[in-house]
Every structure is written in structure tokens, then in C-alpha cells.
């Protein structure tokens, strides 16, 4: 027997844990799963909390022990600790970011790095997949022997940040004497007494930003109303004719009136209304194209089974009769919007948690030309979950056209109709992907592409057959791409993959060929699936982030894609010529190919473009550590940002966060939380002005050093209490119930879910 737990990825499938898999360790407090969490965040929390919140978890593999000791020299310990090699600080040492001697802290002894995990500990991974041990773990197979938790903070607590007295929303944005009617009436559990709320229910106003509300200053109105932590800057008390004094909010004359839907924000696009989400939740939204195609797909599979699982004694006539039973798809793809990837279009990767709207907005200002939403799960989207559709919001800067400077004219490509923002989804079954792909263009008018994630290594996602599990199910993946291409209207379909699921056994080349032409059994009848672009992450699922990305393999795949495009040309004007309606809607139906992994400087970027032969490069951790990497790519040079400039970017993130999440207590808490998540990466930046060796490497970790100023030293601190101190410069003292734990006790050589 096994215990069932809620499944945030697919509610129809229960999660199970094996019998007898109990820990003798004390059970730590679980991290609460909140209603506003996205499905991927819920999956991560389940992995950290353990199944049923009882601490059962998968075992964790930590990287080999290393040690760095700085006393004017670098001491490198081998894995068995038997050999020390002393090197001058000018020498390049693998894994160590060498700092100029004058900035080293001689008396500081750095703690062993043995507790530091690879860069994906935050992906909710409790263990290597059982497939890593040559056993499939999907469907609840037996897990391995449990190990003690080492360096990971799996049960992170963020606490809460609410007002002492909660003001009813019917009073939040109205004058004191003219409130809206409360829909809950006498049963409402929130306060309707405005003066009591202001006096006792909320903390004092913030004094940062000169006491002026950043949202009100830009938009002329504040969406938080009386709940705003800067409310005194846009409210006043007036005396009425009858002598009564009334509290009123102040708006600028040119301010746009607030809409009934509290999710609407100025300069924010792809906002799905509450009514539309309710229609999805109550299954009132029709998906006629998907329904027809899925019905045909099921019949097609039955006919396929008859042919490819036929009896040995079946006659030729019977085989021919079975083949004659095939029918054409009920629908063909619509003409797609042409898209373009080139050296001048660096791509910001889809990043769970970190890839939020304020961070993407900042990266676009630095020069990111293409962005993606955080990965959203198909089932919650289909069910209209608010938290999942919130991931689809895009800033005004993301719906503008990307940079376009090709070496040759791209046929029928209209740059003015292109945009930067695309959405990434994950699905475990074709019908899920198809329904999501049909609904999204209908509700999201500003969408460049829909990208299917085939690389996410999160354990729960993988067990459900989504993410990187699709790499081992190429036929299913092809059906998804082909079907999504049919129902997505004019929005192109792309895919993001890894080298494979197991280290040393790459399968990406076969996957790419299948996405380019289709499988053998469907190629001649149905044509190509119509994948417009493929992004390859140069690591396997099992490998995670323990080694450098394999750009030599990416280069091999890039050469294959070029050969496939030429092969397509060779088939033209022959009986085997692909149907143009099924081709990727780019130049002559050719696929674009993007590389991903360990890009940390303009040198890396240009090297990958020129030597690996990719069309563009997707940047993930490099952007988290230094968002101005896109500026470096554009200018083709290292940029030594000063500490004051970097602190200015912190302020900018805070301003953008308050605009996105609100300036009330909840919005301030959300902004603080996501700022700290970003700082857990940003502190890893070592200024190029104090490095003894260039180019910097994403995998290198510095010895203890002091910055060129006290502020630079503070920004380099790996102590999360210092990160909170930085947040308080702009957000004031943290709420008494606010908690923040870095994702690892050694703090943060980690990455969120980015397949």
C-alpha cells in the first residue's frame, strides 16, 4: 500500500511513496504551499518537504570535496586530500576565479566547499533519478537508500507578510464616505473601518524614495490605495460642508482610472481577466480544434499499432489494407508568423522564480532581445489557475520588436510584427499541450512563440512524463509539436531540449532529426512536425550542472541542423518534397538552432556564434549574476560596473517589483523575497577590475576577497543577512513574520528550474 498526496502538476494522478521508506531523522517544519504559487513552485516545495510533508525525500548527490585556502597563495586539494599544489595568484586554476593579490583577505579561511551542491539544487531535486542508476523512477518505483540532508536548505520558510488588520477590498481604493458595496456583506471577515485600519492595522509608511510612492509617481495613481506603504504621499483629509472630515486618495489629473480587475496594470500586457479564468475553471471554454485533432490522433495510433505490431504471418494484402485505413488529419497548420534568431538577438532563458517580470524588464533594458515566461504547466493553465496565468504577463518593453540586422534579407519576415516575449509550457500528454496551445494565443495577444520544455529535470515533472522525460519518448514529443503547430493559429512552436537524460548517452541528434522531418512512420504521410526552432542545453538530465556545458556536442548538432536544412533543399522538386504547410514557417521552412549553457561574457557569446555555428545563444545563470551581460554582448567589451551602479540596479528592481506586485504590505514582501532570490546569484559577481585572469568562467568560485569599496564588499557577501540589509535600504525593515533562507547553507551556486 502507498500514501496518496496532492499532485500540482496533474491533479488526476496521485503521488505515491514506497512502503517502508521512512526516515529516522527528525522531521523539519514543512514549507507551506500557497494558493498563489505556480505549479512548478508547488512541485519544488513537495520535493523539498518530502512526500506528504513527512520528510521522505530522494537522496542527494553532492559534488566532490574541494578546498580553497588563501594566505597570499592558492592551495588546491585533490579529492583524496593527499596532494597540495601551491600556485601563484597569477596562475589560472580550474574552478577558482583568481583575484588580484591586493584584494585577497589573507587571514580569512574559507569554509570547505564540500557542502556546495551543483547549480540545480533549487530545481526541487531530491535525488538523481532512478534512471541514473539504470532504473526508471516514473510511476513510483522503489527509491534508493536515504541519505542525510547535507548542504541543502530543502524546507525553506518565507514566513508571511500581512497587515495586522486586513482592510476589505471594497474600501481599499475609495474615499472614506463613499465605499463600494462589499459583496460579502455582514459575513465579511475583513475590516471596513478605514481609520482603525490606518491607525492600528498597518505598519508605518516607508521613508525610502523620499517617502513618495514609486507607483504613484510614474502612473499618477496607486493600485494599492489605502494599503500602500507610502499612502501618506497620495492621500489627504478634507473637510466637507457639514463639517465632517473625510480621508480621500489623490490621483494625478492624467491618471488612468482603476479598472475592476485588480490585475490590470499600466504597461503590462497579456493580462487574462477573471471571467476568462473562471470560464476555463468551469470548462466553459471550447477547444474544438484540439478535440478534433486528439480524436484523430487516437485513431491514428490504433492504425499504427496494427502495422508496426503486426503478426508475423500477416499477408501483404492485409498489410496494404491496414495502410489504407489511415486518414488525413482533420486540420492543417495555419500560416505562422515569421520569426528570426541571429547573432544580434541574445536570448534570456526561461527561469523559474528568477525569470519574473521585473527581472526580465531589467534585462531587456540591458539589451536582451528575446525573453520567455517562467515555465508554466499545461494542466493548471487549462484549469484557469490564477497563479499559472500570472506567469504569462509581459511588460511593454517585451512586446516591441527585437533587434534585426541580418547579413542577408530574410524572405517574408516583417520585423515590425515580431516581438520579444515568448511563453514556455510543460506537458506530459499530447492533449494537454494541444489544449494549452489552442487557448494561449486566444487569451494572450502578445505572444512570439510557444516553447515546449523538454529539458526540465525537476523530479516531480519528470515522473509525470513531462520535461526531460520527453527526450525518452520521441514519438510522443513529435505528436505534441505536430498537434500544437496545428492548433496554435499564427504563433510558431519551438522546443527546448537537453543532450539526453543519461550522462554519456546523448540522444539530442536523433531528437533534432525527428523534430526536423518527423519519425519514419509519419514522415511520408504527414510531413514535418513544423518545429520553428530548437534550443539545446549542452548537459544531460543526469549531469545537471556538475560539469561545463558541452559546446562541442552543441556544435555537432548545429552542423546537423544545417545539413538537415540542406537536405530539405535537396528534396525540393522531388516526390519526397515536404509539404510546405507542415514546415516551420521560417526562411524556406528551415529551423533555427540556439545553444544554451555557461555563457558568462561577450567572449563566450561570440565564440559560440562563430565556432559552434548556432544562430543565437540563450543566457541563463550569466544573466542572473550580471544582467548587463547583454550590454557587454552588444558593445563587445567587458564592462566594469561600479558598486554604486550595481546598487542602482537593486533600486531599479525594487521599483519594478513594486509596480508589478504592488506597494502594499504583500507587494513589498513579494518584492523583497524576489530581490533576495536574485541577490543570491548577484553576489557571485566578481568585478572584472579585480580579476587576475580573463575571461571569467561561470563555474569558477573566488577566494575570500575585499572589494574596492565597502559597498562592493557588501554586495559580494555570501551571508543572506547582508542581502536582507541591502533590501532594507529601499524596502525598510522586514515584516516581523518575514523569513528568508537561501537555497543552500553555503548559499547559492545553484539554479532554478531551467531545462
| Choice among 222, 363, 456, 599 that is catalytic | 456
Strands (E), 161-263: 235-239, 245-249
Are 512 and 500 in contact by the 8 Å Cβ rule? The answer is no
Are 528 and 518 in contact by the 8 Å Cβ rule? The answer is yes
Distance CA 348, CA 117 (A): 24
Dihedral sign computed on CA atoms, order 110, 112, 115, 119 = positive
Distance CA 29, CA 489 (A): 47
Q: Which residue has the cell 506530459?
A: 428
* DSSP codes joined into one string, 283-326: T-S--HHHHHHHHHHHHHHHHHHHHHT--TT--HHHHHHHHHT-
Strands (E), 27-146: 68-70, 74-77, 84-87
Element (H, E) at 44: helix 39-49
φ, ψ of residue 348 to 5 degrees: the values are: -85, 125
In 3D, which of 24, 17, 18 has the Cα closest to residue 53? 17
Query: Which residues have a Cβ under 8 Å from the Cβ of 233 and sit 6 or more positions away?
Result: 205, 211, 212, 213, 216
Instruction: List C-alpha distances in Å: 384 to 137, 372, 379, 427.
Output: 30, 20, 9, 15
Distance CA 287, CA 701 (A): 50
Whether 454 is catalytic = no
Q: Could you give the maximum distance between any two Cα atoms of the chain, in Å?
A: 100
C-alpha atoms less than 13 angstroms from C-alpha of 628 in its C-beta half-sphere: 18
In 3D, which of 66, 60, 101, 150 has the Cα closest to residue 701? 66
Distance CA 62, CA 65 (A): 9
> What is the number of residues in the chain?
755
Query: Which residues have a Cβ under 8 Å from the Cβ of 253 and sit 6 or more positions away?
Result: 220
Query: Which residues have a Cβ under 8 Å from the Cβ of 134 and sit 6 or more positions away?
Result: none
DSSP state of 116: -
SS (H, E, C) 73-104: CEEEECCCCCCEEEECCCCCECCECCECHHHE
496 forms beta bridges with: 453, 535
CB atoms within 10 A of CB 507: 17
Distance CA 333, CA 139 (A): 34
Distance CA 155, CA 40 (A): 16
Distance CA 499, CA 597 (A): 11
In 3D, which of 353, 34, 203 has the Cα closest to residue 731? 203
Q: Which residue has the cell 545537471?
A: 544
Distance CA 102, CA 118 (A): 30
616 forms beta bridges with: 594
Are 457 and 120 in contact by the 8 Å Cβ rule? The answer is yes
In 3D, which of 248, 249, 251 has the Cα closest to residue 221? 251
φ, ψ of residue 578 to 5 degrees: the values are: -65, 145
Q: Which residue has the cell 555570501?
A: 718
What are the catalytic residues?
Answer: 456
Amino acid at each position: 500500500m502507498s500514501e496518496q498526496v496532492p499532485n500540482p502538476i496533474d491533479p488526476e494522478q496521485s503521488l505515491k511513496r514506497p512502503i517502508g521508506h521512512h526516515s529516522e531523522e527528525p522531521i523539519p517544519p514543512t514549507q507551506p504551499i500557497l494558493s498563489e504559487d505556480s505549479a512548478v513552485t508547488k512541485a519544488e516545495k513537495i520535493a523539498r518537504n518530502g512526500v506528504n510533508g513527512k520528510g521522505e525525500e530522494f537522496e542527494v548527490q553532492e559534488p566532490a570535496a574541494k578546498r580553497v585556502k588563501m594566505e597570499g597563495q592558492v592551495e588546491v586539494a585533490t579529492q583524496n586530500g593527499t596532494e597540495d599544489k601551491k600556485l601563484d595568484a597569477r596562475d589560472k586554476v580550474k574552478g577558482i576565479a583568481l583575484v588580484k593579490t591586493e584584494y585577497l583577505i589573507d587571514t580569512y579561511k574559507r569554509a570547505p566547499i564540500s557542502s556546495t551542491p551543483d547549480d540545480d539544487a533549487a530545481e526541487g531535486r531530491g535525488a538523481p533519478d532512478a534512471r541514473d542508476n539504470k532504473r526508471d523512477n516514473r510511476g513510483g518505483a522503489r527509491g534508493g537508500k536515504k541519505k542525510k540532508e547535507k548542504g541543502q536548505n530543502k524546507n525553506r520558510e518565507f514566513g508571511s507578510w500581512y497587515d495586522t488588520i486586513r482592510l476589505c477590498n471594497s474600501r481599499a481604493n475609495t474615499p472614506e464616505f463613499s465605499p463600494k458595496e462589499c459583496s460579502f456583506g455582514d459575513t465579511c471577515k475583513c475590516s471596513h473601518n478605514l481609520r482603525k485600519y490606518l491607525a492600528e492595522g498597518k505598519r508605518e509608511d516607508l521613508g525610502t524614495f523620499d517617502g513618495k510612492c514609486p507607483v504613484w509617481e510614474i502612473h499618477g495613481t496607486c493600485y494599492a490605495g489605502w494599503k500602500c506603504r507610502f499612502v501618506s504621499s497620495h492621500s489627504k483629509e478634507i473637510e466637507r460642508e457639514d463639517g465632517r472630515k473625510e480621508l480621500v486618495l489623490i490621483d494625478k489629473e492624467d491618471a488612468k482610472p482603476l479598472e475592476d480587475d485588480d490585475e490590470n496594470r499600466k504597461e503590462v500586457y497579456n493580462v487574462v481577466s477573471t471571467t476568462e479564468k473562471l470560464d476555463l475553471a468551469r470548462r466553459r471554454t471550447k477547444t474544438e480544434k484540439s478535440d478534433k485533432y486528439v480524436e484523430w490522433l487516437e485513431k491514428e495510433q490504433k492504425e499504427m499499432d496494427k502495422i508496426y505490431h503486426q503478426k508475423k504471418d500477416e499477408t501483404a494484402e492485409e498489410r496494404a489494407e491496414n495502410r489504407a485505413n489511415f486518414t488525413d488529419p482533420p486540420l492543417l497548420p495555419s500560416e505562422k508568423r515569421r520569426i528570426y534568431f541571429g547573432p544580434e538577438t541574445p536570448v534570456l532563458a526561461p527561469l523559474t522564480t528568477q525569470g519574473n517580470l521585473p527581472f526580465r524588464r531589467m534585462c531587456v533594458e540591458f539589451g536582451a532581445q528575446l525573453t520567455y515566461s517562467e515555465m508554466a504547466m499545461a494542466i493548471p493553465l487549462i484549469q484557469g489557475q490564477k497563479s499559472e496565468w500570472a506567469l504569462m504577463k509581459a511588460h511593454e518593453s517585451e512586446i516591441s520588436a527585437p533587434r534585426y540586422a541580418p547579413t542577408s534579407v530574410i524572405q517574408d519576415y516583417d520585423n515590425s510584427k515580431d516581438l520579444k516575449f515568448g511563453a514556455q509550457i510543460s506537458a506530459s500528454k499530447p492533449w494537454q499541450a494541444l489544449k494549452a496551445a489552442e487557448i494561449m494565443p486566444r487569451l494572450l495577444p502578445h505572444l512570439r512563440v510557444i516553447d515546449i520544455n523538454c529539458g526540465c529535470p525537476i523530479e516531480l515533472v519528470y515522473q509525470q512524463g513531462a520535461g526531460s522525460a520527453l527526450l525518452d519518448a520521441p514519438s510522443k514529443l513529435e505528436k505534441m509539436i505536430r498537434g500544437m503547430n496545428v492548433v496554435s493559429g499564427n504563433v510558431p512552436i519551438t522546443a527546448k531540449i537537453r543532450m539526453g537524460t543519461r550522462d554519456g548517452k546523448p540522444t539530442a541528434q536523433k531528437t533534432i532529426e525527428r523534430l526536423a522531418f518527423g519519425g519514419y512512420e509519419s514522415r511520408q504521410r504527414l510531413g514535418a512536425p513544423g518545429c520553428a526552432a530548437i534550443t539545446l542545453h549542452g548537459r544531460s538530465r543526469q549531469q545537471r550542472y556538475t560539469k561545463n556545458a558541452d559546446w562541442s556536442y552543441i556544435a555537432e548538432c548545429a552542423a546537423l541542423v544545417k545539413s538537415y536544412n540542406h537536405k530539405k533543399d535537396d528534396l525540393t522538386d522531388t516526390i519526397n518534397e515536404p509539404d510546405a504547410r507542415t514546415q516551420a514557417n521560417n526562411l524556406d521552412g528551415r529551423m533555427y538552432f540556439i545553444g544554451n549553457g555557461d555563457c558568462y561574457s561577450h567572449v563566450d557569446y561570440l565564440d559560440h556564434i562563430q565556432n559552434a555555428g548556432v544562430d543565437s545563444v540563450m543566457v541563463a545563470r550569466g544573466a542572473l549574476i550580471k544582467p548587463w551581460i547583454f550590454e557587454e554582448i552588444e558593445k563587445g567589451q567587458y564592462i566594469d560596473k561600479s558598486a554604486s551602479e550595481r546598487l542602482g540596479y537593486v533600486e531599479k528592481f525594487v521599483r519594478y517589483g513594486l509596480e508589478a506586485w504592488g506597494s502594499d504590505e504583500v507587494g513589498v514582501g513579494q518584492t523583497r523575497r524576489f530581490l533576495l532570490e536574485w541577490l543570491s546569484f548577484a553576489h557571485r559577481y566578481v568585478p572584472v577590475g579585480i580579476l587576475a585572469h580573463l575571461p571569467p568562467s561561470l563555474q569558477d568560485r573566488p577566494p575570500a576577497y575585499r572589494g574596492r569599496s565597502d559597498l562592493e564588499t557588501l554586495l559580494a557577501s555570501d551571508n543572506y543577512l547582508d542581502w536582507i540589509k541591502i533590501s532594507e535600504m529601499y524596502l525598510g525593515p522586514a515584516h516581523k513574520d518575514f523569513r528568508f533562507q537561501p537555497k543552500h547553507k553555503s548559499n547559492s551556486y545553484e539554479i532554478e528550474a531551467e531545462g
